[in-house]
């Protein structure tokens, strides 16, 4: 069997691994054993999986592999943020960012090579779109981060706690346009035999693909963030062009459905980038207050992070503080996100990577709903 024909076990969920071992004539419990080696211990060499028989280890070495994207560079920022540039098999590159905090470590993961949505304030959108990431390429970002960030075992053999405690799918791409691969990767993040993250610590961020939001509600319970950025259709059409297909009223209705009934304990996080003279006035704040009045939510205000040739500027600190105060006075939990990693272009909206643009932008919206599948 050639190297390229080997099955990459890194991206397989427990059910998929059980099917893989069943095809080998092995018992289903082998799936859990191998999952723990791969995802909990970061082991890629089957020979090191000592609770498997020697015969099985040798068979796995012939038939399978554990392969993540290659790290081109690991760049650290002055505030402790890390950004990795990862090279994929086809030569495209993506970026992944780790943001350390006192009480958590958040990994920002990419889901596509580039992005087709063309949000005007985002540098990723300027690269165009090449393809969806595979399951292994998505979960491989978490696998690599854990391997690189988690300290070595202590002298007494105890495994240190993992540094990555939260995952946000807020990197390159629109996650809901790569639905199947993204959901499978999140299943691994939540699986106690893999990463065991709480469903409140895995957040998917979307620009508002309404049918896929409804599908996600029925498929997997994770936190949802929505890139809103404007309180009305006229302005959002300019900033987030997908709004022309799924306007604000439809988007907000989908948000209400997402938190309704069995998810009444959950709130939507609305992301709102602060652009000077564009969406940051008191009138915009009042309009946003009215818009969100019946949606359980919190609001993250994001100071705009500039990139070359952008036509936008960051709102002043005074304008952001005034906007936040107006929302807080109206009863909304509102946080101004602290800019992290901007000295290495790792801040929100700055991820670039290296993308061979294959998109035909004039056709992308017509094809969006048909592009939510993904390769394995």
Query: Among 100, 95, 104, which residue's Cα sits nearest to residue 74?
Result: 95
Q: Quick check: 76 and 344 in contact, CB under 8 A?
A: yes
Contacts of 160 by beta carbon, 8 Å cutoff, 6+ apart: 150, 151, 152, 153, 154
Catalytic residue list: 95, 348
CB-facing half-sphere around the CA of 273: CA atoms within 13 A: 22
Interhelix angle 135-149/179-190, nearest 10 degrees: 40
Question: Rounded CA gap, 209 and 63, in Å?
Answer: 38
How far, rounded to the nearest angstrom, does the alpha carbon of residue 72 sit from its chain's CA centroid? 20
Question: Rounded CA gap, 159 and 148, in Å?
Answer: 14
Contacts of 255 by beta carbon, 8 Å cutoff, 6+ apart: 213, 224, 226, 268, 295, 297
Query: Among 139, 144, 177, 171, which residue's Cα sits nearest to residue 351?
Result: 171
């Amino acid at each position: 069997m050639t190297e390229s024909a080997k099955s990459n076990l890194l991206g397989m969920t427990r059910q998929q691994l059980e099917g893989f071992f069943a095809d080998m004539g092995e018992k289903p419990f082998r799936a859990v054993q191998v999952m723990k080696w791969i995802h909990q211990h970061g082991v890629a060499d089957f020979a090191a999986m000592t609770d498997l028989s020697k015969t099985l280890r040798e068979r796995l070495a012939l038939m399978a592999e554990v392969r993540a994207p290659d790290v081109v560079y690991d760049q650290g920022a002055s505030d402790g943020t890390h950004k990795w540039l990862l090279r994929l098999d086809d030569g495209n590159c993506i970026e992944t960012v780790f943001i350390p905090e006192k009480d958590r470590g958040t990994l920002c993961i990419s889901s596509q090579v580039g992005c087709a949505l063309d949000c005007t304030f985002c540098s990723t959108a300027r690269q165009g779109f090449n393809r969806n990431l595979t399951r292994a390429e998505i979960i491989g970002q978490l696998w690599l981060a854990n391997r690189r960030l988690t300290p070595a075992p202590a002298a007494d053999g105890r495994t240190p706690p993992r540094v990555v405690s939260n995952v946000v799918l807020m990197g390159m791409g629109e996650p809901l346009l790569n639905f199947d691969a993204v959901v499978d990767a999140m299943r691994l993040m939540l699986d106690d035999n893999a990463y065991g993250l709480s469903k409140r610590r895995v957040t998917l961020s979307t620009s508002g693909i309404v049918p896929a939001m409804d599908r996600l509600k029925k498929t997997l319970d994770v936190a949802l963030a929505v890139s809103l950025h404007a309180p009305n259709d006229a302005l959002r059409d300019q900033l987030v062009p997908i709004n022309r297909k799924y306007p604000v009223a439809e988007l907000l209705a989908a948000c209400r459905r997402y938190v309704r009934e069995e998810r009444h304990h959950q709130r939507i996080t609305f992301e709102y980038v602060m652009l000077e003279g564009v969406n940051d006035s008191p009138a915009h704040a009042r309009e946003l207050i009215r818009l969100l009045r019946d949606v359980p939510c919190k609001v993250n205000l994001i100071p705009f992070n500039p990139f070359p040739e952008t036509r936008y500027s960051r709102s002043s600190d005074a304008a952001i503080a005034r906007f936040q105060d107006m929302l807080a006075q109206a009863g909304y939990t509102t946080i101004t996100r602290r800019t992290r990693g901007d000295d290495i272009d790792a801040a929100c909206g700055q991820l670039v990577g290296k993308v061979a643009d294959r998109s035909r932008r004039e056709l992308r919206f017509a094809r969006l709903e048909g592009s939510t599948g993904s390769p394995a």
